[in-house]
Amino acid sequence: MALKHRFSNVSQLIHGHQGNRGSESRSHAFPIYQTSTFRFDTVEQGMEIFAGTAKYDAYSRISSPNHRFLEDSLCVLEDGEAAQVFDSGMTAIKVTLLSLLELGDEVIAHRNLYGGTVRFLKELHKFGIETKFVDARQPTNLLEELTPATKMVFLETPSNPVIDICDFEIIKTVLEQAGRDDILVVVDNTFASPYNQKPLRKRADISIQSLTKYINGFGNATGGAIITSSKIMENIRERYNSSGGMMEPEVAQRIAMNMITLPDRMEKHNRNGHGIAAGFLKNCPLVQKVYYPGLSEHPNNDVARRLMTGFGGMISFELDDSDGSKTKTFLNKLAQDQRDGEGIITLAVSLGCVDTLICCPALSTHYSLPREERLAQGISDNLIRFSAGIENMDDIAYSLERGFQAVK
Ligand SMILES: Cc1ncc(COP(=O)(O)O)c(C=O)c1O
């Protein structure tokens, strides 16, 4: 039986699928439909499914009950009408761009994005789609690059790794005032998570998630999702069926289960993120600069306060380090401590996990970008990206302090 009362988000995530549970087996947990195909009762039924007039699953690459379970949960948290999950965040990004853009179209993208997204946007040149990178923190910068060929604005906010905040609400309004309500505003919402930011509620057209990060939260699955209106999703689904980026049903089920704890995890990420940024890093004499949207000195703190209800666990900071040697010593010390059981901070890419992760983007996630391009994105050689986990904050601070002692 589907829920009739409008229960809270968490209750919906836990109980919203009662109607889909295996009614024949009376299974308490939602079953995993680990099947590649679904049988048709008749040839006619198969024809109806492929014509779209009967809503049954036909083939797991296209849809499955486990995908729907996760997609319904994402719609609840992102306030969307329709969602589509994929095997990774990058597939969600690729399908968004390839399904909604055509030869001759232009994208205006924010200057700082995840390295893989930048690479793919540039590759679109091969298909006759051009990308212009601008500093979208200032919405009027977009207007200067607007041409009749512009079809999409692509943002990531907060951005990876320099924590830029872009005001998608104002950007949509500015585009409309310029007579361009046809331009789609796409927001990669991975850094904020849908617990802290709901772009679709504030005028964005599409929200994208790397489910690998906060939504799954335990670092044991990769996945991606597009969440949008039913109308925009119609165009995307056409393309998705042949993209091949299918999430395994077992993975969809694991992520849907882990997502139930997202609101509780995010509360702790928000507390630890703020505590480490404001209470610890800001007061550390070795730290030159701290980037965190919840700090009053963040250049777009006022925008972040309007768009976000919490600021998450993603912090970046720079050590006072002219040749990069302190940054390496600091990170190697944390890695050594973690291996020796003396510290709890893991040197690794990825983010949004229950455990604290740290990396240097110039030496990892953004390594393949030419140095000038990295610097233009605001990524200095000694920028450190920090993903505060949900451990005890004192334990995180203790582990960081051991790293700082090593470079004093
Ligand atoms: C902001 C952001 N978007 C998208 C991605 C890509 O996600 P995935 O690794 O799940 O493909 C990443 C990966 O780090 C990311 O940080």
250-268 pLDDT, tens digit each? 999 999 999 999 999 999 9
Measured in Å, residue 381 CA sits from the centre of ligand 1 at: 21
pLDDT at 1: 58
| Overall average pLDDT of the 160-179 stretch | 98
263-405: CATH architecture: Alpha-Beta Complex (3.90)
pLDDT at 11: 87
Inter-CA distances, 23 with 29, 31, 110, 250, 280, Å: 11, 10, 48, 19, 52
Q: Identify the residue whose C-alpha is closest to ligand 1 atom 15.
A: 114
Share of the chain above pLDDT 70, in %: 98
**Domain extents in the chain:** 9-259, 263-405
Residue 16: pLDDT above 80? no
The residue among 381, 405, 270 whose CA lies nearest residue 325 is 381
- Mutate which of 210, 314, 364 for ligand 1 pocket (most atoms within 8 A of beta carbon): 210
Distance CA 321, CA 204 (A): 39
Q: What tokens appear for 287 in the block? A: 């730290």
Q: Identify the residue whose C-alpha is closest to ligand 1 atom 16.
A: 114
Residue 18's pLDDT band (cuts 50, 70, 90) = low
Measured in Å, residue 285 CA sits from the centre of ligand 1 at: 32
pLDDT at 35: 96
| Overall average pLDDT of the 105-128 stretch | 97
Measured in Å, residue 114 CA sits from the centre of ligand 1 at: 7
**The ligand 1 atom nearest the CA atom of 92:** 11
| Overall average pLDDT of the 134-163 stretch | 97
pLDDT at 5: 86
Q: What tokens appear for 118 in the block? A: 């930048």
pLDDT at 232: 97
Residue 123: pLDDT above 60? yes
| Overall average pLDDT of the 177-198 stretch | 98
Measured in Å, residue 129 CA sits from the centre of ligand 1 at: 22
40 or 242, higher pLDDT: 40
| Overall average pLDDT of the 88-108 stretch | 97
- Mutate which of 166, 208, 213, 366 for ligand 1 pocket (most atoms within 8 A of beta carbon): 213
Q: Identify the residue whose C-alpha is closest to ligand 1 atom 14.
A: 350
Select the highest-mean-pLDDT range: 49-53, 130-134, 243-247: 130-134
| Overall average pLDDT of the 332-349 stretch | 98
> What's the pLDDT tens digit per position in 353-401?
999 999 999 999 888 889 999 999 999 999 999 999 999 999 999 999 9
Residue 210's pLDDT band (cuts 50, 70, 90) = very high
pLDDT at 3: 81
**Residue 75, Cβ neighbours under 10 Å: how many?**
20
Measured in Å, residue 332 CA sits from the centre of ligand 1 at: 24
**The ligand 1 atom nearest the CA atom of 160:** 1
Q: Looking at 47-56, 158-167, 324-333, 377-386, which range is the least confident one? A: 47-56
Residues touching ligand 1 (Cβ under 6 Å) are 88-90, 114, 116, 156, 160, 188, 190-191, 210, 212, 222, 224
> What's the pLDDT tens digit per position in 268-306?
999 999 999 999 999 999 999 999 999 999 999 999 999
pLDDT at 326: 95
Measured in Å, residue 348 CA sits from the centre of ligand 1 at: 14
Measured in Å, residue 379 CA sits from the centre of ligand 1 at: 17
Residue 405 makes CB contacts below 8 A (sequence gap 6+) with none
Q: Identify the residue whose C-alpha is closest to ligand 1 atom 7.
A: 89
Measured in Å, residue 90 CA sits from the centre of ligand 1 at: 6
Alpha helices in 115-221 (DSSP H): 115-123, 140-145, 168-177, 193-196
Task: Please give the class, per CATH, of domain 9-259.
Answer: alpha beta
Residue 7's pLDDT band (cuts 50, 70, 90) = confident
Residue 19: pLDDT above 70? no
